[in-house]
């Protein structure tokens, strides 16, 4: 019996005498994960909050709401500013459970007071991880505090707003962002609820404030330079005023402010300069996802429809006289949306974003190339005249044109000189001798006699079929050409004067049917054996305009025998360029990382050669 009793007692004694604290080796990443977790990603308080709750003697069976109320009482009664961050976490957790905006507003207020309150001044220590945790809670809680019940929209609502304990009176001085020409942004969406696909990088400028997507008010008359559907980054910032006594009395005051982070990247809060949080990629991705651009790509190619999007040059940001324009020209059956990846990377590049402004040219890509090139020349001249009628802005005479595929041919014609070309050599009547009325004759001259645009300071060709596309010259190209209906605008110009032999064109009396049959499409133009290609090769490009080639080759082996699935290397390669690189890629190479890096290099070179001189040391 004694041995049996001892056998039962010994295990109990071992348990009672065991060490109360133990250490167990685990993976370093597990330790880091637990140490860096917060209410925003784990749904649990941080280790800092857990420690403060323990020191406040609030562990045990108390509910989250009870802990919040008691910590609030201790913070204001005992002057415990270290409780403010745990209070922000507890309020956020309560908001996640109750979906009450008052709890999220409380989380934002507690976090703000932790960062900028008179008793903490923690924002002066950027090395303390609690500073970033408080900033993240503030940003996320602010977005939830002023969002609609469904979370879809951010509303700038003022007045008395309830807090977990007390109230906050909110003043709202601005409720819209305004650009020139009456462009307004009155609708706002929380940016951090959207996931982006299709872009390699997501750019976020860290700081304080709720990142928003500002939507353009849809009443555009189409007379300005901005797309009708336009979304830009915006930031909301809640400035809280009050001390411990105001927190105790529940009578804090605040101002809900609205900023365009491109114009105002940082603000003053007390003695601190605080950068504003913004999500630039999210705003532009949202605009692309909702845009009619994708419908336009084939509609504009096949039907020449003028109703899908506005043609010509469009700006995504207000014109800046101190920034060099970069005009991006899309290719066949494409749209400005295909530049999204390159634009996203370059417009967020600190070395470029303040020195360049990116513009987009849209056109019906099924129309004859000579006509589309005329529209590009006209659009550039008209935009420069509208933005700088006095000719004071030097940067408007240093433009960089970048064209992909057919867009590269439009760029080429923008820097070419056809004034001395002998059209009779190709069986055409000389444009000056065509027998048309005065207005038509002037249009023909604009199409066929042109000089390099003085506004263009550099050109970049990307996957450009300088000698035609073997796809356009093949069976698929013939089918595509047959499906294209030329734009009604293009029909007003007598392309028979360009296309038909001398004996027909000299009459000046061609019936509509004959004109329709004679009119070439862009696909016809890009066939390797077309007359257009023969003439294009004889039109000299301006020796004063530097140019660069980026050529896509998707096949293995020697690049000289390669192609990108649409254009062969031997067609994209031209002499007399300052640089040429080959990117192993299919034809849609615009967003390839090597393409982006090469365009970045070219723009920095352009800036070095055209920017203001460096100050004397």
Check if the beta carbon of residue 214 is closer than 8 Å to that of residue 124.
no
pLDDT in tens, 74-90: 878 877 778 888 889 88
User: Confidence class of residue 108 from pLDDT cuts 50, 70 and 90?
Assistant: very high
Q: What percent of the chain has pLDDT over 90?
A: 44
Q: By C-alpha distance, which of 517, 513, 526, 512 is closest to 478?
A: 526
**pLDDT over 90 at 221, yes or no:** no
pLDDT at 147: 93
Both tokens assigned to 139: 């940003």
More confident residue, 46 or 145: 145
Q: Which residue has the tokens 């013939």?
A: 478
Average pLDDT in the chain: 81
Check if the beta carbon of residue 91 is closer than 8 Å to that of residue 141.
yes
pLDDT at 301: 40
Least confident of 86-95, 117-126, 373-382, 474-483: 474-483
| Domains contained in the chain, CATH given | 34-145 (1.25.40), 159-282 (no CATH), 318-417+452-486+521-610 (3.40.50.1820)
Using alpha carbons, list the distances in angstroms from residue 34 to 28, 50, 51, 292: 10, 12, 14, 45
Check if the beta carbon of residue 93 is closer than 8 Å to that of residue 81.
no
pLDDT in tens, 327-346: 999 998 888 888 989 999 99
* Gap between the Cα atoms of 412 and 539, Å rounded: 10
pLDDT at 12: 55
Q: In this structure, which long-range contacts are made by residues 30-33, counting pairs with CB atoms below 8 Å and at least 24 apart in sequence?
A: none
pLDDT in tens, 177-198: 988 777 889 999 999 888 888 8
3-state SS class at 300: helix
pLDDT at 423: 79
- Which class for 135: exposed (0-12), middle (13-18), buried (19 or more C-beta within 10 A)? buried
User: Confidence class of residue 602 from pLDDT cuts 50, 70 and 90?
Assistant: very high
Least confident of 1-15, 271-285, 390-404, 544-558: 1-15
**pLDDT over 70 at 420, yes or no:** yes
Q: Is the dihedral of CA 114, 120, 123, 125 positive or negative?
A: negative
Q: 29-33, 125-129, 443-447: which has the highest mean pLDDT?
A: 443-447
Phi, psi of 69 (to 5 degrees): -65, -40
Check if the beta carbon of residue 143 is closer than 8 Å to that of residue 107.
no
More confident residue, 125 or 351: 351
pLDDT at 380: 96
User: Confidence class of residue 491 from pLDDT cuts 50, 70 and 90?
Assistant: very low
3-state SS class at 122: helix
* Gap between the Cα atoms of 530 and 550, Å rounded: 24
User: Confidence class of residue 480 from pLDDT cuts 50, 70 and 90?
Assistant: very low
**pLDDT over 90 at 258, yes or no:** yes
pLDDT at 477: 39
Check if the beta carbon of residue 465 is closer than 8 Å to that of residue 572.
yes
Using alpha carbons, list the distances in angstroms from residue 484 to 109, 194, 493: 60, 38, 17
pLDDT in tens, 116-158: 886 655 545 677 788 888 999 999 999 999 999 888 899 999 9
Q: By C-alpha distance, which of 107, 104, 142, 88 is closest to 276?
A: 142
How do strand 272-275 and strand 231-241 relate by DSSP bridges? unpaired
pLDDT at 234: 96
């Amino acid at each position: 019996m004694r041995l049996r009793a001892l056998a039962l007692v010994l295990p109990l004694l071992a348990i009672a005498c065991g060490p109360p604290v133990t250490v167990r080796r685990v993976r370093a990443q597990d330790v880091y994960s637990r140490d860096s977790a917060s209410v925003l990603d784990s749904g649990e308080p941080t280790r800092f909050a857990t420690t403060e709750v323990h020191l406040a003697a609030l562990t045990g069976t108390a509910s989250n709401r009870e802990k919040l109320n008691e910590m609030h009482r201790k913070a204001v009664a005992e002057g415990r500013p270290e409780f403010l961050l745990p209070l922000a976490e507890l309020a956020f957790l309560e908001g996640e459970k109750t979906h009450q905006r008052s709890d999220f507003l409380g989380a934002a207020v507690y976090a703000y007071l932790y960062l900028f309150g008179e008793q903490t001044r923690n924002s002066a220590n950027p090395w303390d991880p609690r500073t970033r945790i408080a900033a993240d809670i503030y940003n996320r809680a602010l977005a939830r505090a002023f969002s609609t019940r469904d979370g879809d929209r951010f509303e700038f609502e003022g007045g008395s707003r309830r807090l977990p304990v007390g109230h906050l009176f909110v003043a709202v001085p601005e409720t819209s962002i305004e650009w020139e020409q009456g462009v307004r942004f009155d609708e706002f969406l929380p940016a951090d609820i959207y996931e982006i696909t299709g872009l390699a990088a997501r750019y976020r400028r860290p700081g304080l404030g709720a990142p928003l997507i500002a939507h353009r008010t849809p009443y555009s008359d189409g007379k300005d330079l901005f797309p009708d559907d336009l979304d830009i980054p915006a930031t909301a910032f809640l400035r809280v005023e009050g001390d411990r006594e105001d927190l105790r009395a529940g009578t804090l005051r605040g101002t809900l402010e609205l900023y365009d982070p491109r114009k105002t990247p940082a603000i003053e809060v007390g003695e601190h300069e605080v950068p504003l949080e913004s999500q630039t990629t999210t705003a532009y991705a949202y605009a692309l996802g909702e845009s009619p651009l994708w419908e336009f790509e084939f509609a504009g190619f096949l039907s020449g429809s003028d109703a899908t999007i506005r043609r010509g040059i469009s700006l995504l940001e207000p014109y800046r006289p101190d920034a060099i324009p970069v005009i991006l020209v899309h290719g066949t059956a494409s749209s400005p949306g295909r530049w999204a990846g390159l634009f996203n990377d370059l417009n967020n590049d600190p070395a470029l974003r303040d020195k360049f402004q990116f513009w987009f040219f849209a056109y019906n890509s099924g129309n004859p190339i000579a006509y589309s090139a005329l529209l590009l020349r006209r659009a550039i001249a008209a935009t420069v005249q509208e933005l700088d009628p006095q000719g004071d802005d030097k940067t408007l005479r240093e433009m960089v044109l970048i064209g992909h595929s057919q867009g590269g041919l439009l760029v080429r014609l923008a820097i070419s000189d056809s004034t001395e070309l002998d059209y009779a050599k190709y069986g055409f009547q000389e444009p000056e001798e065509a027998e048309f009325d005065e207005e038509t004759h002037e249009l023909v001259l604009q199409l066929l006699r042109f000089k390099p645009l003085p506004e263009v300071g550099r050109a970049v060709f990307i996957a450009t079929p300088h000698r035609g596309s073997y796809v356009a010259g093949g069976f698929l190209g013939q089918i595509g050409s047959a499906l294209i209906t030329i734009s009604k605008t293009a029909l007003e110009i007598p392309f028979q004067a360009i296309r038909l032999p001398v004996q027909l064109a000299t009459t000046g009396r061609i019936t509509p049917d004959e004109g329709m049959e004679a009119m070439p499409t862009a696909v016809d133009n890009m066939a390797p054996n077309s007359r257009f290609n023969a003439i294009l090769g004889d039109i000299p490009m301006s020796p004063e305009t530097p140019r660069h080639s980026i050529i896509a080759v998707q096949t293995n082996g020697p690049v000289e025998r390669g192609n990108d699935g649409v254009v062969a290397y031997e067609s994209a390669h031209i002499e007399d360029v300052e640089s040429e690189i080959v990117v192993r890629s299919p034809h849609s190479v615009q967003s390839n990382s090597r393409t982006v890096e090469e365009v970045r290099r070219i723009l920095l070179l352009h800036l070095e050669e055209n920017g203001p001189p460096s100050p004397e040391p």
